[in-house]
Structure 1
Amino acid sequence: MKFVGKSIKRVDGVKKVTGSLKYVDDMKMPRMLYVAVKRSPHPHARIVSIDTSKAISLKGVKDVITGEYYTKRGGLYLEDKNFLAVGKARYRGEAVAAVAAESEDIAKAAAELIEVDYEVLPAVTNAIEAMAPNAPLVHPDLGDYKVAPVFFPEPGTNISNHYKLRKGDAEKGFSESDYVFENKFYVPHVQHVPIETHTAIAQMDADGYLTVWASCQSPYAVRQALSAAFDVPLNKLRVISPAVGGGFGSKAGTTLEGIIIPLAMRSNGRPVKLTYSREDEFENAYVRQGLHATIKTGVRKDGKILAVQNEFIWDGGAYTEYGVNIVKAAGYASAGPYDIDNVFTDSYCVYTNHPVGGPYRGFGMSEIHFGIEQNLDIVAEQIGITPVEIRKINGLKSGGRTGTGEIVEVSGLIECLDNVIRDIELDKVEPASGPNKRRGKAIACGWKAPSMPNNAASSAIIKLNEDGTAHLLVSAQDIGQGSDTVMTQIAAEVLSISPEKITVRTGDTDHTPYEWQTVASRITYSAGRAVFEAAQDAKAQLFELAQIKLGVYKRDLEMRDGFIVSKIYPDRKVAISELALGLTFEDGSGVHGPIIGRGAFIPPNIRNADKKTGLGDHPVVFWTYGAQGVDLEVDVETGHIKVLKVASSFDVGQVVNPQMLEGQLEGAILQGMGTALFEELILKDGKILNKSFVDYKIPTSDDMPELVVSFVENPEETGPFGARGVAEPAMVPTAPAIANAVYNAVGIRLSTMPMTPERVLTAIKEKERQSK
């Protein structure tokens, strides 16, 4: 029986729709203490003094701490972050003190009583200005921070990472070009706005054993970061993530856990809990970094791009410990999915006195493609060819070379593009729905690789039960993408048992095996391969026993519907349940014992790129390619954009669950529409002016267009059954496809997101003024 490639029901579906699935904020424990935080009202200020006496004297308050209690910095990639401000506050809303009390109300009242004396410092609230030689330094001690060797901070500046890509000779390429163009684009900060806000509980036992329950995507990464930050050995630190109500990258690293751990250490075994309000989520969880992009392109008359030069300046915020990796990923992907001989890119991660930047679905790719794909349409029009032609001329094909010099073995880009052109009916001119409406269609392409270190490992364990059912243990977190179901399908396929007979358990560092992180669209690929290997290991053990039981060589056995069956003599078979605890002989003796399958996986042959040039023959494990087309209307009187239809096609290697894969693409499209049309953190002097759903708009079901989704299946050799990840790549082309369609409709080029009615109408009026 086949399970991979089938739309089986989600294994967590019933619990989620009935509300019986328990999240961290649902957890109530005896003698729980609740935490409130005192936050800085200034974007940049030295902390002169903190008076906590009134707070600690309030009835019901058990403890108050400041950053001076624990001054060690933490961070996954760059150790630049204190969980409570030490010495100075670097953004509005930064935690400077925390209170633990018997109730939330008491904790909040006590936090209000804390008195902080600040010396306000000059703030930097623009990433370009922050790069100036005389700009105030957000982190004067940057040179002393511990940093992973693949990132390159520049001490004495606000640049926390400068990634360089140098392929070929860009100057020579420009000199040989018939045309040279330069365009600028800007992408603002946005928030992830998961339904579940960040929540964490910490409890330290009398023997120094620390348990943290957290709404986090990556329990093992959080455990590692917290262990280093608080000097707790890994065997004394347990991280549990029972369920996650949406993440999109915002729950990939550490946020509020480090605020409550020092309080838990001082609370004599009492659990300590902190839950972010929605306003906290906007201000104090990760935001997507802002981007200033400049793209210079040299092209021949026939449409072949000879050179590209990129400058990406990223507004990383007050702490860039995770953001430095986004900037690196954007750098090595900066040529886009195109075969260009000469590429010169500088990608800078810059400290500012803004909220902390971090990973967001697409991990930098959505941001840079907003410029890359609009730039292609601009260039095509200027030299007199179509947007399709310029992409087909330059698109990566088998045998081509990426921006890092890697040879492409398989690329479904052109197939995806053809699917989209067909499904959006690109060449068909269709009427608008009214006299003030203008109809437009356009396309955009995109790509993404899993941004992970070479040793990003996954592991899995399968335990067979004596009735032939199984427990699957992984630490890949299902944050809504459906990984629990996909892991179950992969195991079921190998063992040839129904998915209903497999129970998956995740998210407990004491009891589920190691997983690097649930990020980078890598779970189906990496964790799925570990599950595949674990199931194969269990299968091999079963075959060893079955050949004894049946008197048939194991090479002549196969799995079939819960049995091990002889290929030659089908009547010779034994149920898995009979062998789950080993093989018992007629005299009562036995061999082997319980069947436990173990699987581990590290992507093979990924090698570091050259530090000076960014070039490498295999710096990433694979690329996921795709394209999208958009059909929309623009109201020329109001500036309102109505997306009518989106066609999307991606090369996914192997479809594991068609229904869930379609859901991933549909969700990514809607999320991409949100950033394209609505979403923007409005910042003034470092202050967020729209930190609620009243003022920060996201798309709803009313905004959902007609969606046409298709897939290309060029198998990924190292993936389980040939699968590769697509959850993030599916969002990458959406915004530029919308921008290109707006241009097709009304002839205006919007270089800034979001494309609000105000911006559209202003551009239309400016176009009319210039045409007079």
Structure 2
Amino acid sequence: MSHRTLGKEETRGNGAGKDAGTPRSGDGLSGGHPLPPPPPAHRYIGKSVLRTDGWEKVTGAAKFVDDIEFGPSLLHAYVVESPYAHAEIVRVDTAEAEKVPGVVKVVTGRDFTQKFGLYMKDRYIFARDRVRFVGEQVAAVIACDPKTAMRAAKLVKVEYKELPPVLDPVKALDKKSVLLHPELGEYPHVPWFFPKAGTNVAHWRKTRKGDVEKGFKEADLILEDTYTVPRYAHCAIEVHGAVGLYDAAGRLTVWTASQSPFTQRHGFAQALAPLGISHKDVRVVTPYIGGGFGGKAGVSMEIIGAALATTVQGHPVKVMWSRAQEFYNTYQRQGVVAKLKLGVRKDGTITALEHTLYWDAGAYVEYGANVVNAVGLSATGPYRVDNVKIDSVCVYTNLPPGGPYRGFGYSEFGFGLESHINRMAAELKIDPVDFRRRNAIKGGDTLCYGAHMNPCGLDEAIEKAAKEIGWGKKTKPKDPRKARGKGVVCFWKAPAMPPNASSSAFLKFNEDGSLNVLISGMDMGQGLLTICAQIAAEILSVPPAKIRVETPDTDRNPYEWQTVGSHVTWGCGNAVKKAAIDAREQIFDLVQRTLNLERDTLYLEDEKVKCRTQPDFGLAFKDFVIAGIEAEDHTFKGGPVMGRGMFMPEFTSAISDPETSQGGHPNVHYTTGAAGVEIEIDRETGKVKVLKAVLAVDLGKAINPDLCRSQVTGGLLQGLATVLYEDMRFSEKGKLLNANFSDYKIPTALDVPDEIVPILIEVAQPDGPFGARGVGEHTMIPAASMIANAVEDALGIRIKSMPITAEKIALALKKAG
């Protein structure tokens, strides 16, 4: 694979300010002394420094949950699962299992009566009255070793009364459909969710802008169609796991493989409150995690480890999912049926959009409903549309719970929208890239919920992606049995987060001038620890190699809502920046009051405090950040320097008119971009080979360009996997049939595109750290739609359902004759 970078990263509107560690004032001369030469605008920001966690990971020193030793008192748990997608639980008999030597405890739904959930509390830790998907946990056996726990679990007898399963989200809306949650109206939920009691609708996000009927009347062309996207698995290399310990002092500690340590602590405390456990009693420790992609966000199986620990006080209890369980009893990416109606004028201007999306949210929607909510606010895509009607409907089914997945619903709606745009452009005989240029959103434009678009470089992204893919230039394959095609699409995404989601950071100096930075954002491979080190380094002039950023421990590290939504570079990065500035200001205060130097003449450089008016002055951090500074009277001033920083987007609001979504400001900003692909297809087999993929993304500021390029490569590959290979199959009874990597295909090194070109565009985010905004999820969003468009370009066939496998292409070709 060839992997090169196009263009030079240049920051616009993000010059080095006082926070970059440079002198903060001056006119070339001060007190008769010439100023030292100014340092570079950024010493560490915008540089591809080595990962701070790289050595630990490549040497195998990094510890994951399953690597942590707990000694001989460790117990193991095995879960009893439902074989039915929908059934009443008549009776649970644990007598035989309890007799097995080595069994310590058997736990059922009778032991835990509280529901849990992040946005809506709609599920029990163990099913109590009915099961709602195949694999749902009904009981658990705790034993001295894993084999004994598994053997005893098979002896737990559960009597069920099978009920008809509901497996299709559209059919679930029928008034005659089985009601999956009769108590829906009683479930606690956040105020921006709108469940419909007495139906299978868990949430309905409505967005209205302008006059849609008028917009369609003004259109010269209207196209309506339906697009289908199935479910997908996250396929992180590390499976879910948790170890819980409830000690004699009443302290519950849970070690988890998680994107959300503090959110889990909150969920555990709420669910276990009947046992007298409160937030101060719960500690969550999260070491390195082997990938997440959204699947380890919120609270899923981890609560089992927490709950089981309370039943065997003094003994740690370990619960590790198998690869099969990783497929069917963690969050899956939700399926969607999207109905699109788009109106345009002859010149290509969009006049109206009606977008109705029916989401297969699964048995429990406590997190997945927020994906539905996010899409309902953004399903226009990155385009100016004056007249909008969006209905994003979250529907209960008897399939595994849906939840967050990289892209948070944007890839799913983008598949239909970007396909639709190409078809309309063809009808109007307008180049599809020109169509996108004409309608591309710009900074200051009014969004569909009434707020205004942040500064963005979408126009630049379209131009650069189209140019690099060679748009408008046909290439011919050497083999006449093959055909080539290209596709160019646009994408955008906003962080999906509550209006009060916050980030915080602690920073402390050590005796040698090195730093420890404490955050609770998770590094899942995207490089957050390195980014935070670079931000602190830039402010304090300490090289990133001398900064250690610690993984989360809710007892030691400060609060972070979750690592989701591609927001932690922005949110957590801002908190680290503020903590570094706080430490810097303490240093300046100390030097001013102890050494009587003018504060405005002080600056930091090369791990020292320096002075513009005294070129020979340089006080090394290691000489005072712990021990303080000795004054003229031989007393010491100062003490350990510790910084604190907190960031909350105080301009946001999730409360708006439930019928229109007007009146709030639910999204903090959007990251935008464009992508292109060239493919070659075997006409006989339908097999697709990706020759070249290009992705141009406006990330505000690339704090570490190499890490950003890696996100482009990894995201594109994950997106290409969903459209070309991955294919989740369920039986008519709702059982997942291919819960393994033999039957659920993901790409290998042989499937990597011949060439991947990342293009990093930098239109600064005004409130981002050094202008940065997130990019982690965005890089997979365009993959499905650009492949669909390239297939049509190559073969003249439009495939409107994912995945676009070789088999599906071959059948479509055969049908087309």
Counterpart for residue 304 of structure 2: 259
Q: For residue 546 of structure 1, report the CA deviation from its aligned partner.
A: 1.8
Q: Secondary structure at the match of 1:260?
A: helix
2:255 is the alignment partner of 1:226: no
> Residues 414, 679 of structure 1: CA spacing in aligned structure 2 closer, same or farther, 3 A cutoff?
same
Q: How far has the Cα of 1:683 moved from its partner?
A: 1.2
Aligned pair partner of 1:701 in 746, 749, 752: 749
SS at match of 2:764: coil
Per-residue Cα deviation, 1:630-686 (whole angstroms, up to 9, x for no partner): 000111100111111001100010110011110011100000000010112111221
Q: Are 1:745 and 2:745 an aligned pair? A: no
* Residue matched to 1:764: 813
State the 1:592 CA deviation.
3.0
In the aligned structure 2, how far is the partner of 1:260 from the partner of 1:648?
A: 41
Q: For 1:751 and 1:615, locate their aligned partners in 2 and report how far apart those are by CA, in whole Å.
A: 32
8 A Cα contact 2:453 2:669, kept in partner: no
Partner of 2:14: none
Q: Is the partner of 1:211 in helix, strand or coil?
A: strand
Q: Deviations over 1:359-394 (max 9, x none)?
A: 000001011101111110011111111111110111
What's the counterpart of residue 562 of structure 1? 607
Contact 1:316 1:323 in 2 (8 A): yes
Q: Which amino acid aligns with 2:740?
A: S
Q: Cα deviation per residue 1:720-761 (whole Å; 9 max; x = unaligned)?
A: 000000101111111101110010000111111111111101
Work out whether 1:618 is the aligned partner of 2:659. Answer: no
CA RMSD of aligned residues (A): 1.1
Deviations along 1:154-195, whole A, 9 cap, x unmatched? Answer: 011111000000101111111121111101111100000100
Q: CA deviation at 1:274?
A: 0.6
Q: Is the 8 A contact 1:334 1:403 kept in 2?
A: no
Match of 2:12 in 1: none
Match of 1:640 in 2: 687
Q: 1:533 maps to what in 2?
A: 578
Looking at structure 1, the residues matched to 293 and 803 of structure 2 have their Cα atoms a distance apart, in angstroms, of 19
Q: What residue is the counterpart of 2:364 in the other structure?
A: 319
SS at match of 2:225: strand
Q: 1: CA distance between counterparts of 2:658 and 2:635?
A: 61
Q: Report the CA distance between 1:616 and its aligned residue.
A: 4.0
2:595–2:631 contact (8 Å) kept in structure 1: no
The equivalences for 1:638-677 within 5 A come to 638-677=685-724
Instruction: Give the aligned residue type for 1:19.
Output: G
- How many residue pairs match? The answer is 768
The equivalences for 1:306-705 within 5 A come to 306-581=351-626, 582-608=628-654, 609-616=656-663, 618-684=665-731, 685-705=733-753
**What TM-score, normalized to structure 1?**
0.98
CA shift for structure 1 position 320 = 0.5
**Which of 287, 290, 304 is the aligned partner of 2:349?**
304
Following superposition, the deviation at residue 549 of structure 1 comes to: 4.5
The AA in structure 2 aligned to 1:595 is V
The one-letter amino acid of 2:193's match is F
Bigger Cα displacement from structure 2, 603-612 vs 237-246? 603-612
1:89 counterpart residue number: 131
Deviation at 1:591, TM superposition (A): 2.5
Question: Corresponding residue for 2:4?
Answer: none
State the SS of the aligned residue for 1:572.
Answer: strand
* Structure 2 SS opposite 1:764: helix
Distance 1:383 1:627 in 2: 22
Q: Distance in 1 between matches of 2:376 and 2:307?
A: 37
Deviation for aligned residue 1:552: 2.2
Tell me the distance in 1 between the aligned counterparts of 2:401 and 2:443: 39
Quote the Cα distance in structure 2 between the aligned partners of 1:371 and 1:205. 52
Counterpart for residue 44 of structure 2: 3
1:734 match: 783
Counterpart of 1:294?
339
Using the TM superposition, give the Cα deviation of residue 5 of structure 1 relative to its aligned residue in structure 2, in angstroms: 0.6
Correspondence for 1:714: 763
**Deviates further, 432-441 or 286-295:** 432-441
Per mean C-alpha deviation after superposition, the further-off stretch among 234-243 and 574-583 is 574-583
Q: Deviations over 1:15-56 (max 9, x none)?
A: 111111111111221211100011010000001001110000
Q: Which amino acid aligns with 2:546?
A: K
- Cα deviation code 1:548-606 (max 9, x no counterpart): 44432111111101011112322122111223023222433222321110100001311
State whether residues 550 and 572 of structure 1, in contact with CA within 8 Å, keep that contact through their aligned partners in structure 2. no
Provide the rounded CA distance (Å) in 2 between the counterparts of 1:60 and 1:269.
17
Structure 1 unaligned spans of 5+: none
**1:47 pairs with one of 89, 93, 101:** 89
Alignment-derived partner of residue 25 in structure 2: none
Check whether the contact 2:454–2:669 (CA below 8 A) recurs between aligned residues.
no
Task: State how 1:55-134 maps to structure 2 within 5 Å.
Answer: 55-134=97-176
Percent identical pairs in the alignment equals 45
Distance 1:534 1:143 in 2: 44
Equivalent pair of 2:284/2:554 in contact (CA under 8 Å): yes
- Counterpart CA distance in 2 for 1:448 and 1:467 is 42
Alpha-carbon offset, residue 125 of structure 1: 0.5
Deviation at 1:547, TM superposition (A): 2.2
Give the C-alpha shift of residue 68 in structure 1.
Answer: 1.5
The answer to whether the 8 A contact 1:213-1:240 is kept is yes
Tell me which amino acid in the other structure corresponds to 2:797: I
Query: TM-score normalised to the size of structure 2?
Result: 0.93
